[in-house]
Amino acid sequence: MNKITCIRVLADINQIKECKEKIRVNAAAFSDLARVIELAGNTVRLKILYLLEEEGELCPCDLSDILEMSVPAISQHLRKLKDGNIIQAKRVGQTIFYSLTDDHLKILKPFFRHIHHQRATEKTMSA
């Protein structure tokens, strides 16, 4: 394996200190973002999050029909997302509706914009 070496002539000590401080003060935010990205990194969970962002709220049966998966399988994914505080649940009678939490919607919106952009680009290219 090749050893990677640094060939800089002069280190900017102030820049290094400032960057270390930025990392230190944002440590909790990095951990939170990494957790959200890790949970959203599963294709099914990402689809669920996308649908909740698009529709506002959905119940497990709706998600089961849309994603053509069993309700127990959908419920497992919803539980992981809820345990991670990415989604919230609201009971209306016998039905539980899920929606994105506001904090995590802000984090995930750029990913969903990317999906919309890709779809628009594909439509333009096929026209």
Identify the CATH number of the domain in which residue 64 sits. 1.10.10.10
Fill in the DSSP letter of residue 42. Answer: S
Single-letter amino acid code for the residue at 44: V
pLDDT score of 68: 98
Give the number of domains in the chain. 1
Position 54 in a domain? yes
Position 7 in a domain? no
Task: Please give the chain's pLDDT, 127 residues, in tens.
Answer: 567 777 788 889 999 999 999 999 999 988 888 888 888 889 999 999 999 999 999 999 999 999 999 999 999 999 999 999 999 999 999 999 999 998 877 777 777 777 777 766 766 777 6
Position 3 in a domain? no
Q: Taking Cα atoms as reference points, which of 122, 116, 112 lies closest to residue 47?
A: 112
90: left (phi over 0), alpha (psi -120 to 50) or beta: beta
pLDDT score of 36: 85
pLDDT score of 33: 84
